Structure 1
Amino acid sequence: MNLQLALLEKAARENRLAHLLLFHGGSALHQREVALRLAQILNCNQPMLEGPCQECYACHKITSKNHPDVLWLKPLKTTIGIEQILAWQQKVYLKHYEGNYKVSVIEQADLVTLPAANALLKVIEEPPERTIIILCAQNADGILPTIQSRAQLVYLPDLSEEAWLKGLGEVDQQDADRAFHLSGKNQNLATAILEHGMPLLKEWVEKFRTAVEERDFLKLFSLFPIDKNQAVLYLQVMAAQTQEGMLKGINRPFEFLAIGRAIDVLRQQVNPRLVIEVLALELFQRGGDLCD
């Protein structure tokens, strides 16, 4: 454990933890594990010097994400919208049920929309008693500055590949290795690939590549229907592979930039079919050739 995490745990044991923490960097799995451990330290019924007991009723409920005073929030689609934050806000202001602290963990907090961020800020400025809010983000700069300035920033480095694999639980080693390669060694993206399913992702990406290489618009029809979350995941994988191809001299920067723009547009709630078709047409015109 690094010094920063050791100090965080010490502050939690001594009831001196900042009411707003911003985890950034590293993998989502690591952020989740650290948040879960802090929630256990704050609410463990039989705390020990080295940390939570992991045996009591509270520790087990927090591990299974069933503790009424430990709230977990993540995007329902490609963003965390105002409706989600308002529903969460109501739960935050309820009285404690059985824990010492109410802990709220907001995953992918850099995907909070501006209206939702403003609603979140109201809670941050006047937090209920014995309430800890943990924001998890890949990039701290994606968080509203007025929120960022009120938070204690905690940088988490990437896990080793071995630790990342261990955190995944029971997964096929070969699938995990393939996902790690497909993601460009991005642990968050690799985890999303495994959760989604390797075969479906590879089939979709291969069909898209074929349509682009053959400049055959009709072959795009087999790619749909597709929801926004799937589309973002598929394009992120293509972006990672295209970036790798650029380093090898196979791909050109415009292909990577075109995919990046498509991802940005998708996150603005535009129809995924329209985004994919526009991207394909752009690559048709520029002679795009996505790498394998």
Structure 2
Amino acid sequence: MNIAFELLVRAALEERIAHLLLFHSGAALERRQAGVYLAQALNCQSLRAAAPCLECSACRRIHSGNHPDVHILQPQKASLGIEEILHWQEQVYRKHYEGKYKVFILEQADRLTLPAENALLKVIEEPPERTIIILSAQNAEALLPTIQSRAQAVYFPETEKDNWLNSLDPSINPQEAEEAFMLSGNDPEGALVILDLGVAKVKQWVDQFEEAIRESDFLKVFSLFPIEKNEALIYLQVLAYQEYADVRSPGAMLAINKTLDQIRKQANPRLAIEVLALELFRQGGH
């Protein structure tokens, strides 16, 4: 965490936080993790004062994306339109379900259309009580000045991606390396493993697995084997990151993380992944 964010968390724990926040720069995943952590600080059920406990029911549900008072909105198209914002407003004005604070994280806010920004201004000017809105954007300057002026801005430093890319052997294709870094969820060690296995190979396995899940076709799962333990771990890491980044299914993400833990504890990779596939079939795919 950076100092500005640490001060923000302290303010949240003392319940003296601004209702509109602007997280900008850095990596999208880092900004989301910060927003989730802040939501935990605001709704933690523990009596600790220094930080959210991360262990109570509220903290766990917020982390899994399964808390009714914490919402993340992502653009489904190239921009965030007024229809999406108007639908989102309905959620903002609903009553609290169980948390102390409702928290809304609006990702890629620099992709808001002008009508959508104007609609957002109405919420900002008359915010519901105990409701925190977090705008997450790579480029804060793309937002209307009237929105910027109303928000408490928190800057996130750039990621270590550039330093990592510069440290690689010059013979490595930089575009392939950058894609490996993205697939790994900004994990330099994981990105090296992906490069070693081959970006195309990793993407093909993940795509085939997701296709098998969408079609509930267990025969297609069989075609993905045999694989070694290190391959299984990196494939599942990529799957887990995609679930987290897309907010498609908290249940799927939890099932994938459970499978990762089992394989790390020496479970048979094939058996563990077959059990995972059956669980995702039960959940109805992604």
Give the TM interval when normalised to the shorter protein.
Answer: 0.5 to 0.7
What do residues 214-239 of structure 1 show as CA deviations (whole Å, max 9, x unaligned)?
Answer: xxxxxxxxxxxxxxxxxxxxxxxxxx
Deviation at 1:66, TM superposition (A): 1.2
Deviation at 1:34, TM superposition (A): 0.7
Is the Cα contact below 8 Å between 1:71 and 1:105 reproduced in 2? yes
| Residue equivalent to 1:152 | 152
User: What secondary structure sits across from 1:22 in the alignment?
Assistant: strand
User: What secondary structure sits across from 1:59 in the alignment?
Assistant: helix
Is the Cα contact below 8 Å between 1:22 and 1:153 reproduced in 2? yes
| TM-score in terms of structure 1 length | 0.57
Is the Cα contact below 8 Å between 1:73 and 1:105 reproduced in 2? yes
What do residues 1-46 of structure 1 show as CA deviations (whole Å, max 9, x unaligned)?
Answer: 3221111011000111111110111000110111000000000111
Matched, 1:117 2:113: no
Q: 1:5 to 1:179 in 2, by over 3 A?
A: farther
Is the Cα contact below 8 Å between 2:179 and 2:199 reproduced in 1? no
Aligned residue pair count: 187
What do residues 194-222 of structure 1 show as CA deviations (whole Å, max 9, x unaligned)?
Answer: 9xx9539999xxxxxxxxxxxxxxxxxxx
| Residue equivalent to 2:83 | 83
Matched, 1:141 2:133: no
Q: 1:157 to 1:87 in 2, by over 3 A?
A: same
Aligned-partner Cα distance in 2 for 1:186–1:145: 36
Is the Cα contact below 8 Å between 2:43 and 2:59 reproduced in 1? yes
| Residue equivalent to 2:200 | 199
Q: 1:161 to 1:47 in 2, by over 3 A?
A: farther
What do residues 116-145 of structure 1 show as CA deviations (whole Å, max 9, x unaligned)?
Answer: 111111000100000100000000011111
Aligned-partner Cα distance in 1 for 2:6–2:143: 25
Aligned-partner Cα distance in 2 for 1:144–1:13: 30
| Residue equivalent to 2:42 | 42
| Residue equivalent to 1:2 | 2
Q: Which amino acid letter does the alignment assign opposite residue 61 of structure 1?
A: R
Is the Cα contact below 8 Å between 1:102 and 1:131 reproduced in 2? yes
Is the Cα contact below 8 Å between 1:85 and 1:119 reproduced in 2? yes
What runs of 5+ residues in structure 2 fail to find an aligned partner? 165-171, 192-197, 205-286
Q: Which amino acid letter does the alignment assign opposite residue 28 of structure 1?
A: A
| Residue equivalent to 2:263 | none
| Residue equivalent to 1:288 | none
Is the Cα contact below 8 Å between 1:41 and 1:47 reproduced in 2? no
Matched, 1:13 2:13: yes
Q: 1:202 to 1:42 in 2, by over 3 A?
A: closer
Aligned-partner Cα distance in 2 for 1:183–1:83: 37
Q: Which amino acid letter does the alignment assign opposite residue 122 of structure 1?
A: K
Is the Cα contact below 8 Å between 1:69 and 1:98 reproduced in 2? yes
Q: 1:142 to 1:52 in 2, by over 3 A?
A: same
User: What secondary structure sits across from 1:123 in the alignment?
Assistant: helix
Deviation at 1:190, TM superposition (A): 8.1
| Residue equivalent to 2:98 | 98
| Residue equivalent to 1:24 | 24
Is the Cα contact below 8 Å between 1:179 and 1:191 reproduced in 2? no
Is the Cα contact below 8 Å between 2:71 and 2:103 reproduced in 1? yes
Is the Cα contact below 8 Å between 2:105 and 2:133 reproduced in 1? yes
User: What secondary structure sits across from 1:84 in the alignment?
Assistant: helix
Q: Which amino acid letter does the alignment assign opposite residue 71 of structure 1?
A: H
Identity between Structure 1 and Structure 2 (%): 56
Aligned-partner Cα distance in 1 for 2:60–2:173: 30
Q: 1:25 to 1:179 in 2, by over 3 A?
A: farther
Q: 1:37 to 1:189 in 2, by over 3 A?
A: same
Q: Which amino acid letter does the alignment assign opposite residue 145 of structure 2?
A: P
Q: Which amino acid letter does the alignment assign opposite residue 75 of structure 1?
A: P
Matches for 1:181-192 after TM superposition, within 5 Å: 181-182=175-176
Q: 1:79 to 1:159 in 2, by over 3 A?
A: same
Is the Cα contact below 8 Å between 1:179 and 1:190 reproduced in 2? no
| Residue equivalent to 1:68 | 68
What do residues 68-119 of structure 1 show as CA deviations (whole Å, max 9, x unaligned)?
Answer: 1111101011111111111110010011000000100000000011111111
